[in-house]
Amino acid sequence: MGKRIVVIGAVAAGPKAAARVKRLDLDAQVIMVDQAELISYGGCGLPYYISGEVSDINELMSTSFHLKRDAKFFEGAKGVEVRTRTRALAIDRAQKSVRLQNLATEELYSLDYDQLVLATGSTPIRLPIPGAELPGVFTVANPSDAEAIREPVSKGEVEQVVIIGGGAIGLELAEAFTELWGLETAVVELQEHLLPGLLDSPLARMVQAHVEAQGVKVYCGEQVQQLEAENGRVARVVTSKRTLPADLVIMAVGVRPNSQLAREAGLLVGPTGGIVVNQRLQTSDPLIYAGGDCIENYHLLTGKRVHYPSGSIANRQGRVIGTNLNGGHEIFEGVIGSYIMKLFELSVGCTGLSLAAAQREGFDAFETLVSQADQAHFYPGQELMYLQLVADRPTQRLLGLQGVGAMGQGVKARIDAVGAMLKFKPTLDDLSNLEVAYAPPFAAALDIVNAAANTAKNILAGTNHPLPMDDFISIWKDKYAAGVTFLDIRERDNAAPLVEKWGPLWVNIPQGELRYRLAEVPQDKKLILVCNAGMRSYESQVILDHAGITGTANLQGGYAALKKSEPIP
């Protein structure tokens, strides 16, 4: 028997590292321990088990060929010994030994290691508010949580759900409760818009409009202050602005890395709470590797250490660890921040930095919002896709992309094309001429990612004077006092209902007639140009600038993006 490798944690990074090193070194003894009974589950699938789309919890623990990934499976298929219900209590680095407890028998024992892997994951944050521990209040960390949530729901014992946290998990759960179980569901988000870590407000507003249209109540900018009980169970959620009835409350306000074991063993833990590792995923003890949700990662765009939990990244890190345990020299360079989610009929994705994040990091960043069909305009069945591009003004460097579109892989295609380039420090020029795959059923001839870059370049060149969606909405709220005229340069049929409704505030000159009708352009107030997608209004702006009618502003993303975001005008 060769060296002994002990792996603590049997979800994602742990099993991957264990199986990989065993394949490279069949003489090694690989022992994987986990405090839970159920291991190697697809944690990202828990919302789909709660919703019922995944009918059996065991499917989350199965291979693609329908074998359950339990201790017996790991023994036979991977040659890895698994000890479930076994908690790691302490690491003795001097002795190279882990103190373990069998939770079934309460037996305590030590296990020597030659190398150790920490894949201890993360724990959902439970807000320290009154009532947080009441029955009926859950976080979603593992299959047991999911079963405990689904059971009363499936029995019809739940009518009103409040989800605290409007991030990705919170919204996936909102869909699960609304779409599949028909429950009254409310989401309370502390920040001013949904998905605050992933999106800026324009696309977040589209997401909110969509989930609200599906019946989810959304309360942003509200702090949950306490949970109140009735008959010993949670019954109400009290926010800074209202009280919501609830017989089930989910806290989905983020996770914390499980780094206590590492910290107590004297390993370096960073300010994010994650275990510090080098690019080979070694901790400050070179015999101990760590990966997955318990570590902090280098962010390839900001150069900072971040806690960035992801089942997908954990898997990739597991492989790197497995190789390096065997003396290999793989590196994990860092994270970019790519994400995609299904939300009812939408797919919502992002990569890199949001505008808010980029500005916080000190970039002189600006954004571009574009709307374009996800197929050639003549190909039947296309739907509009919306992208927000974030770039650095002085260097023209691409910093991030966010997208909202119909469900399917169209948004992922754009996110991944840009995400794949980001570590190579691409500029807007690289994206403007990026050769993405084209045929009419898949894209316009000039793909929306190319169009986004071109629009950003026009903004930088000073030929496109954009009006961000947020500013449009602010102006619209106070439209009579704002000293503006809206010049709708779409065709008559499109503009007519607004012209009729808003009188002299909303004027229509179709773009193709504008160069002949310059005398009719109202010049007493600031002009806000509106077309359907923001392209024709840009073309109009060029004509107006040349005619000396300057100071106009062009609604980014056009009326299509506005309509997707807000019930106005």
Active centre residues (catalytic): 44
CA–CA dist 55, 433 (Å, integer): 45
* Binding status of residue 415 toward a second copy by CB under 8 A: yes
* Binding status of residue 287 toward a second copy by CB under 8 A: no
Q: Candidates 118-126, 220-228, 387-395, 403-411: pick the segment binding a second copy (CB under 8 A).
A: 403-411
Nearest C-alpha neighbor of 14 from the set 291, 280, 324, 273:
291
How many chain residues interact with a second copy (CB under 8 A)? 107
Could you say which of 5, 32, 40, 73 contacts a second copy (CB under 8 A)?
Answer: 73
Q: Output 67 or 268, the one with its CB closest to a second copy.
A: 67
* Binding status of residue 310 toward a second copy by CB under 8 A: yes
395: CB partners within 8 A, 6+ apart: 427
Could you say which of 438, 477, 520, 523 contacts a second copy (CB under 8 A)?
Answer: 438
Judged by phi (left if over 0) then psi (alpha if -120 to 50, else beta), residue 381 lies in left
Could you say which of 32, 60, 190, 262 contacts a second copy (CB under 8 A)?
Answer: 60
* Binding status of residue 86 toward a second copy by CB under 8 A: no
Residue 539 CB, shortest distance to a second copy, in Å, is 7
Could you say which of 174, 216, 443, 555 contacts a second copy (CB under 8 A)?
Answer: 443
Residue ranges with strand state E in 213-345: 217-220, 224-230, 233-239, 243-245, 248-251, 255-257, 288-290, 297-298, 305-306, 339-343
> How crowded is the C-beta side of 366, counted as CA atoms within 13 Å?
19
Q: What residues from 456 to 485 belong to the interface with a second copy (CB under 8 A)?
A: 463
Could you say which of 433, 474, 523, 550 contacts a second copy (CB under 8 A)?
Answer: 433
429: CB partners within 8 A, 6+ apart: 396, 453, 457
Tally of CB atoms within 10 A around 474: 12
Residue 458 CB, shortest distance to a second copy, in Å, is 9
Q: Where are the alpha helices (DSSP H) in 214-307?
A: 260-264
Q: Candidates 92-100, 129-137, 153-161, 334-342: pick the segment binding a second copy (CB under 8 A).
A: 334-342
Q: What residues from 339 to 398 belong to the interface with a second copy (CB under 8 A)?
A: 339-342, 347, 349-351, 372-374, 376-380
- The sign of the dihedral angle between the CA atoms of 361, 367, 372, 375 is negative
Q: Candidates 231-239, 262-270, 280-288, 413-421: pick the segment binding a second copy (CB under 8 A).
A: 413-421
Residue 266 CB, shortest distance to a second copy, in Å, is 29
Angle CA(144)–CA(149)–CA(154) in degrees, nearest 5? 120
* Binding status of residue 319 toward a second copy by CB under 8 A: yes
Q: Candidates 145-153, 269-277, 313-321, 520-528: pick the segment binding a second copy (CB under 8 A).
A: 313-321
Could you say which of 38, 78, 184, 299 contacts a second copy (CB under 8 A)?
Answer: 78
Query: What type of residue is 153?
Result: V
DSSP-based three-state secondary structure for 146: helix
- How much is the CA Rg of the chain, to the nearest whole Å? 27
Nearest C-alpha neighbor of 56 from the set 74, 71, 38, 72:
38
Nearest C-alpha neighbor of 7 from the set 294, 266, 256, 274:
294
Q: What residues from 174 to 233 belong to the interface with a second copy (CB under 8 A)?
A: none
- Please state whether beta strands 217-220 and 184-189 pair in parallel, antiparallel, or not at all (unpaired): parallel
Q: What residues from 8 to 37 belong to the interface with a second copy (CB under 8 A)?
A: 12, 16, 23-24, 26
* Binding status of residue 432 toward a second copy by CB under 8 A: yes
Could you say which of 397, 515, 526, 563 contacts a second copy (CB under 8 A)?
Answer: 515
* Binding status of residue 496 toward a second copy by CB under 8 A: no
Q: Output 38 or 246, the one with its CB closest to a second copy.
A: 38
